[in-house]
Structure 1
Amino acid sequence: MRKSGILNRHLAGALAELGHGHEVLVCDAGMPIPVGPRVVDLAFRAGVPSFAEVLDGLLDELVIEGATAAHEVRGANPAATALLEAHFPALELVPHEKLKSLSAGARLVVRTGEARPYANVLLRCGVFF
């Protein structure tokens, strides 16, 4: 049994399968999940686990070379905006509808219990060397 890091076996296994250029959608409870990507649904109750908790845990495990979010987050969710901009100075913002279409190309979707709007980000994996 692992003693630290991500303990959810489905999520830990899915992360181990990711490679350079693969995309991971971290999304709130309301984001429509496209058919195709592997899904690890962590949502338990509204707000649990939060977008911030899950994103922080994933960033401890992954090398990220780029991130894309919906530009609507700026007006609707100041906390998510601050979190995303703190982690990703070169955050790409696109219309929410485009983010939904881009998410179909994700290798993995991690659904949180987040109940605040537009708490979604598409992460592009990098390499550690």
Structure 2
Amino acid sequence: MKRSGILNRHLSGALAELGHGDGVLVCDVGFPIPDRVKVVDLAFRAGVPSFAEVLEGLLAELVVEGATAAEEVREANPAASALLDKHFPKPTLVSHQQLKDMAWDARVVVRTGEASPYANVLLRCGVFF
């Protein structure tokens, strides 16, 4: 049994399969998830777990070389915007529709219980060497 870190077996296994350049979409409870993409659904209740909790946990375990979010987050969700700025000095911002289109290429989607607008980010995996 794992001692610490991400304990969810489905999420831990999905993360172990990632390679350089793979995408991990962390999304809110309302984000439309494409049918063919692997999903780890962590949503329990509205707000649980939060976007921040899940993002922080993933960043503790992954090497991330880039992040893409919806430009709408800047005005519609200052808390999520500040969280993204804290972790990513220059996130790529695209329209929400473009982010939804990019979800089709994600290797895995992690659905949170977040119930605030535009709390979504597509992480691009890097390498530790």
Equivalent residue, structure 1, for 2:74 = 74
Identity between Structure 1 and Structure 2 (%): 75
Q: TM-score, normalised by structure 2?
A: 0.99
Distance between the aligned counterparts of 1:104 and 1:115, measured in 2?
22
Per-residue deviation at 1:3?
1.4
Aligned residues: 129
Instruction: Give a deviation string over 1:67-121, Cα, whole Å, max 9, x none.
Output: 0000000011000000001100110000000000011000000000000000000
Distance between the aligned counterparts of 1:103 and 1:86, measured in 2?
23
Distance between the aligned counterparts of 2:102 and 2:35, measured in 1?
12
Distance between the aligned counterparts of 1:36 and 1:18, measured in 2?
17
Query: What RMSD, in angstroms, separates the aligned Cα atoms of the two structures?
Result: 0.4
Equivalent residue letter for 1:50? S
Q: What 5-or-longer segments of structure 2 have no aligned partner?
A: none
Equivalent residue, structure 1, for 2:119 = 119
Per-residue deviation at 1:6?
0.2
Equivalent residue, structure 2, for 1:57 = 57
Distance between the aligned counterparts of 1:73 and 1:3, measured in 2?
35
Q: TM-score, normalised by structure 1?
A: 0.99
Equivalent residue, structure 1, for 2:26 = 26
Per-residue deviation at 1:127?
0.1
Distance between the aligned counterparts of 2:37 and 2:53, measured in 1?
22
Per-residue deviation at 1:30?
0.4
Per the alignment, in what secondary structure is the counterpart of residue 99 of structure 1? helix
Question: 4+ runs of 1 displaced by more than 2 Å?
Answer: none
